[in-house]
Structure 1
Amino acid sequence: MSEIGASPAKIKKLDPSEQVHEAREYDPETQKALEEIDSCQNEIDQLNEKASEEILKVEQKYNKLRKPNFENRSKIIQRIPNFWVTAFVNHPQISAILEEEEEECLHYLTKLDVEEFDDIKSGYRIKFFFDENPYFENDVLTKEFHLGSTGDPASHSTDIKWKDGHNLLERFRQRMQQGEKSGGSGRKRPLDLRSFFSWFCDHGDPSADEIAEVIKDDMWPNPLQYFLVPDIEVENGEGDDDEEEEDLDEEEVDDNVVVVEEEIEEVDEEEEEEDEVQAEEDGEADE
């Protein structure tokens, strides 16, 4: 029996319009084993497809079960002033794209909603609900992501009806242009990053939209953790203050110990000097 892999590799000649592939020749036993592996792999792939279908059904089922909880949570959140803007500002990735004026605008954001399509893999939509505000006329701003296997990924967003003199997207673009002309001085962030509304209107690469994924997979499932960030920091800060006070107390005790030790040393030195003087006087008396 010939040694496995002993046959030299050779290049199969194909039509110039086709990509060149490397073809190998194997001994009969290896060839049979490879075919059996391929057959096993096909069975594994079929099971994986079946598992994906079952997982999809489970996710769809629990999305429906969770929906009343999300709706109830939204009603409760509306009782808390500035809940969503606080959560956004406390989120490290979302706050990184927030301009100061946009933060002011998000004080009018009353509700956030994320809806996955029935075919979860095909996409989702993010909806922002606003009270009447001085920036735009829309009550709801929606951005949809279509990520299905048919066709290229695409996204669409609501056309924002800006009120006169309050187009935050245009203001941001003007600041970026001024930053480019001035060499970048005075810019809040590098030019390659976006603002919140420039993200909302951007449809460059829907399949790799990090902000949308953060909102869908991190902010939406549990916004409370980001709303409570300041309180957590305050609690931690109080603990740090206690530790600092303890350290100061320890330092004061150490200083007192040092002072006492120095006083004892000074007393000992004075006693030694007195003993020496007395000894000298005694010696003179004897003479």
Structure 2
Amino acid sequence: MSESGASPAKLRKLEAPEESSESRDYDPETQKALEEIDSCQNEIDQLNEKASEEILKVEQKYNKLRKPNFEKRSEIIQRIPNFWVTAFVNHPQISAILEEEEEECLHYLTKLDVEEFDDIKSGYRIKFYFDENPYFGNDVLTKEFHLGSTGDPASQSTDIKWKAGHNLVERFRQRMQQGEKSGSGRKRSLDVRSFFSWFSDHGDPSADEIAEVIKDDMFPNPLQYFLVPDIEVENGEGDDDEEDEIEDEEVDDSVVVVEEEIEEVDEEGVEEEEVPEEDGEAD
């Protein structure tokens, strides 16, 4: 709009967003510039779309190249007892939802695998492989996430065949209810989940932080979390050594001070004994 208040002639305008109910009028020069910007933006959007297609092809290519390495790594990991449960317990976000009984159950976890769909943006699946265990009869538990542009995001998971008296999801639910009744659970959010209740939950697949952590952090490099205790121990030993050295230095300093005090006392004693001899010579 012009500052003088004169009403400019109405011109053809770019389509306004649907949420905007007000129409806008521009002078011919501004309108022309806006149309040129819109044309440039269309070209940029086309390049961005093409770039996304190229990036997708590159991701698909390297997913295939990485697969043999992941398979080789899985074979090696199976030679290390309790590798995955150790990595899970050491991960700050996963351990936050890990109940004590679930930790015991995860001692039977032998392999973790993440498979992205061919159209990477459309979703992925996480697969947990278990040895025979006292908790459930499944060999593999899978949770899939469908995040494609068609339809709402959705997820689905394997129906866990819990053995009698070992349903960890039900036990967790009962503990939460008992905590709420007794008042001890006041600090716990209603959204608090255990590991297996997360596995069975399909509330908001597009914002599943645990799934994203497993896919983008845990699975790509689990070794860093398995080695956490060793790193902490090494750091702890170093700190103890430094403290010992400091204590030794303090002890050495005190010894020196004591020795200096003894020497001063001896010198004073000698001086006091020599005084009478000098007086005798004077007489």
Q: Flag whether TM exceeds 0.5 (same fold).
A: yes
What is the CA distance between 1:78 and its match in structure 2? 1.1
> Contact 1:176 / 1:191 at 8 angstroms: preserved in 2?
no
> Contact 1:7 / 1:26 at 8 angstroms: preserved in 2?
no
Does residue 254 of the first structure (1) align with residue 253 of the second (2)? Answer: yes
What is the correspondence of 1:205-284 to structure 2 with a 5 Å cutoff? Answer: 205-267=204-266, 274=272, 282=279
What is the CA distance between 1:254 and its match in structure 2? 2.1
TM-score (norm 1): 0.85
> Contact 2:113 / 2:127 at 8 angstroms: preserved in 1?
yes
| CA distance in structure 2 between the partners assigned to 1:38 and 1:117 by the alignment | 35
Deviations 1:90-130 (A, max 9, x none): 11111111000000000111111100000000000000011
1:66 counterpart letter in structure 2: R
Deviations 1:187-241 (A, max 9, x none): 8x65532110010011111111110000000011111111111122222222222
1:43 maps to: 43
What is the CA distance between 1:258 and its match in structure 2? 2.8
Structure 1's 104 and 186: CA in aligned 2 closer, same or farther, altered over 3 A? farther
What is the correspondence of 1:153-168 to structure 2 with a 5 Å cutoff? Answer: 153-168=153-168
Structure 1's 115 and 275: CA in aligned 2 closer, same or farther, altered over 3 A? same
| CA distance in structure 1 between the partners assigned to 2:127 and 2:72 by the alignment | 17
What is the CA distance between 1:257 and its match in structure 2? 2.8
Deviations 1:39-98 (A, max 9, x none): 111111110000000000000011111111111111111111111111111111111110
1:198 maps to: 197
Does residue 91 of the first structure (1) align with residue 91 of the second (2)? Answer: yes
What is the CA distance between 1:245 and its match in structure 2? 1.7
1:57 counterpart letter in structure 2: K
What is the CA distance between 1:28 and its match in structure 2? 2.0
| CA distance in structure 2 between the partners assigned to 1:6 and 1:109 by the alignment | 72
| CA distance in structure 1 between the partners assigned to 2:166 and 2:92 by the alignment | 26
| CA distance in structure 2 between the partners assigned to 1:265 and 1:52 by the alignment | 85
> Contact 1:112 / 1:129 at 8 angstroms: preserved in 2?
yes
Worse overlay, 221-230 or 233-242: 233-242
Q: What's the Cα RMSD here?
A: 2.6
SS at match of 1:64: helix
1:194 counterpart letter in structure 2: R
SS at match of 1:143: strand
SS at match of 2:126: strand
| CA distance in structure 1 between the partners assigned to 2:25 and 2:123 by the alignment | 44
| CA distance in structure 2 between the partners assigned to 1:208 and 1:269 by the alignment | 83
1:78 counterpart letter in structure 2: Q
1:15 maps to: none
1:135 counterpart letter in structure 2: Y
1:69 maps to: 69
Structure 1's 257 and 191: CA in aligned 2 closer, same or farther, altered over 3 A? farther
Worse overlay, 244-253 or 125-134: 244-253
Worse overlay, 141-150 or 255-264: 255-264
SS at match of 1:114: strand
Identical amino acids, percent of aligned pairs: 84
1:142 maps to: 142
1:141 counterpart letter in structure 2: L
| CA distance in structure 1 between the partners assigned to 2:185 and 2:31 by the alignment | 66
2:107 counterpart letter in structure 1: H
TM-score (norm 2): 0.87
SS at match of 1:115: strand
Deviations 1:139-198 (A, max 9, x none): 1110000001111111101111100000000000000001111112698x6553211001
| CA distance in structure 2 between the partners assigned to 1:117 and 1:7 by the alignment | 60
* Number of equivalences: 271
> Contact 1:7 / 1:25 at 8 angstroms: preserved in 2?
no
> Contact 2:176 / 2:185 at 8 angstroms: preserved in 1?
no
What is the CA distance between 1:20 and its match in structure 2? 4.3
> Contact 2:155 / 2:205 at 8 angstroms: preserved in 1?
yes
